[in-house]
């Protein structure tokens, strides 16, 4: 009896996490082949408007699979109009491969939602379910409940062995925009993306007017960070008016200060590697603080910003000794923009407009207390900033 794995997804774009999981799953489950089936549209999942067409996604999956004989690519869902429903796909496959044993391969993130998919009962009757771990902190806690829920519907569930590769297409699209995605892409897929200018690889984002800059940056942020960034930009402009700094630079630095914040620690390191940036020991140990550095690199190389803007972004998290007015404004605006809410924020807000250096000092001191309570180390730059302000 032929044993066939079914690996569906948006593949926007396909990455090495998809391919490695499909290959490892095939081996662990003893499958004869795995069908990679890009969806035309996923019910309940918005495919970003500036994405490639379904046909282009299909072509990229073909390129990613080409070197692996166990992987086959199917256009079943791309060529069917409307939302792609798994039960319809399974039905079509049962007709195409009569008597075959079908296994639906799903990433661990899909597990909890699967019982809510349309015709879920029918799905688990038609195919066994193989879960492919993706990694991540929550996964270990969530897996058992997901497996139990499916088993209670009568599903045959296996958790396949997988060496997780913690990348998602959403993150990869950001890396592509920042021109540092090679680590996670098959070279043929990357070539196709670049040749066709997909995922903004051919966009010129240098010196964008503010309304367009806002639109582009919002597309790169996690949605829950957008209000903060707009608040920081507007506050930075107000502070620039108050303290006689360049309001355009303030607006642009505020808009871009968190442009790489959506990348997690390991991806911050990926960007630094791709840009050839050497890191100090503190940054290697705490890659989460790296978004200030990577944001400044992206502001310079991708957005063509001037030195003042780049430097204000570079130092917005830790501060440094001898900060200029724009650097101080971005540091303080980030701390007390209207969406921030913590004890002492009102004092900081008032101080920002009456004594900028005092506000900077208060911000740094509050950070130090916070880090101490968390048991985290303080960056050398923050210490130097405080020493400078105390001397001041």
Question: Which residues of this protein are in contact with ligand ATP, per CB under 6 A?
Answer: 9-12, 17-18, 21, 106-107, 109-110, 132, 134, 164-165, 167-170
Of the candidates 194, 195, 172, which has an alpha carbon nearest to the alpha carbon of residue 183? 172
**CB nearer ligand ATP, residue 17 or residue 363:** 17
Which residue's structure tokens are 């166990």?
Answer: 70
Euclidean distance between CA atoms 74 and 102, whole angstroms: 15
Least Cβ distance, residue 92 to ligand ATP (angstroms):
19
**Complex with ligand ATP: residue 105 or 298, whichever CB lies closer:** 105
Return the number of the residue (164 or 219) whose C-beta is nearest ligand ATP.
Answer: 164
| Residue 175 dihedral angles phi and psi, to the nearest 5° | -60, -35
- Residue with the closest Cβ to ligand ATP? 107
- Nearest-approach distance from CB 171 to ligand ATP, in angstroms: 7
Q: Judged by CB, which is closer to ligand ATP: 21, or 289?
A: 21
Across-strand partners of 5?
34, 103
Nearest CB to ligand ATP, comparing residues 35 and 253:
35
Closest separation in Å from C-beta 110 to ligand ATP? 5
CB of 241 to ligand ATP, least distance (A): 40
Would you say the C-alpha torsion 150, 152, 153, 157 has a positive or negative sign?
Answer: positive
Residue among 132 and 157 whose Cβ is closer to ligand ATP: 132
Handedness of CA 229, 235, 240, 243 (dihedral sign): negative
Calpha distance 288→385 (Å, rounded): 20
Least separation, in Å, of the C-beta of 375 and ligand ATP?
A: 31
Could you write out the DSSP letters of every residue in 248-279?
A: HHHHHHHHHTTTTTTS-HHHHHHHHHHHT---
**Shortest gap between Cβ of 291 and ligand ATP (angstroms)?**
19
3-state secondary structure 85-137: CHHHHHHHHHHHCCCCEEEEEEEHHHHCCHHHCCCHHHHHHHCEEEEECCCCC
- Looking at the Cβ atoms of 136 and 338, the one nearer to ligand ATP is 136
Cα 95 to chain centroid distance, Å, stands at 39
Shortest distance (Å) from residue 352 CB to ligand ATP: 38
Please tell me the distance from the alpha carbon of residue 151 to that of residue 317, in angstroms, as a whole number: 47
- CA-CA distance, 64 to 43, in Å (whole number)? 25
CB of 44 to ligand ATP, least distance (A): 12
The nearer residue to ligand ATP, 107 or 295, going by C-beta atoms, is: 107
């Amino acid at each position: 009896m032929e044993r066939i794995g079914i690996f569906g997804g948006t593949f926007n774009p396909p990455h090495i996490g998809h391919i490695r999981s499909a290959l490892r799953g095939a081996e662990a489950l003893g499958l004869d082949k795995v069908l990679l089936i890009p969806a035309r549209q996923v019910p309940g999942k918005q495919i970003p408007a500036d994405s490639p067409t379904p046909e282009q996604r299909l072509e990229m999956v073909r390129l990613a699979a080409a070197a692996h004989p166990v992987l086959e690519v199917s256009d079943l869902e791309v060529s069917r109009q409307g939302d792609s429903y798994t039960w319809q796909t399974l039905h079509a496959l049962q007709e195409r491969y009569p008597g075959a044993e079908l296994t639906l391969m799903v990433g661990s993130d899909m597990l909890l939602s699967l019982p809510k998919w349309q015709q879920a009962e029918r799905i688990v009757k038609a195919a066994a379910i193989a879960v492919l771990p993706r990694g991540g902190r929550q996964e270990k806690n969530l897996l058992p409940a997901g497996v139990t829920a499916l088993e209670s519907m009568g599903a045959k569930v296996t958790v396949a062995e997988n060496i997780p590769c913690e990348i998602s297409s959403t993150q990869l699209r950001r890396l592509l925009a920042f021109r540092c995605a090679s680590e996670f892409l098959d070279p043929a897929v990357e070539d196709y993306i670049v040749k066709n200018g997909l995922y903004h690889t051919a966009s010129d984002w240098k010196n964008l007017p503010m309304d367009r800059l806002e639109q582009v940056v919002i597309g790169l942020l996690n949605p829950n960070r957008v209000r903060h960034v707009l608040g920081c930009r507007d506050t930075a402009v107000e502070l620039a008016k108050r303290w006689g700094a360049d309001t355009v630079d303030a607006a642009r630095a505020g808009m871009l200060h968190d442009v790489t914040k959506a990348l997690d620690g390991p991806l911050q390191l990926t960007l630094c590697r791709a840009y050839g940036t050497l890191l100090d020991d503190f940054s290697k140990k705490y890659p989460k603080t790296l978004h200030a550095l990577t944001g400044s690199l992206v502001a310079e190389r991708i957005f063509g910003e001037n030195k003042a803007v780049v430097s204000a972004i570079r130092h917005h998290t830790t501060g440094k000794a001898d900060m200029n007015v724009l650097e101080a404004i971005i540091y303080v605006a980030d701390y007390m923009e209207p969406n921030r809410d913590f004890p002492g924020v009102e004092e900081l807000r008032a101080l920002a407009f009456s004594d900028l250096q005092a506000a900077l000092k208060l911000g740094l001191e509050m950070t130090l207390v916070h880090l101490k309570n968390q048991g985290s180390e303080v960056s050398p730059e923050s210490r130097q900033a405080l020493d400078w302000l105390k001397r001041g």
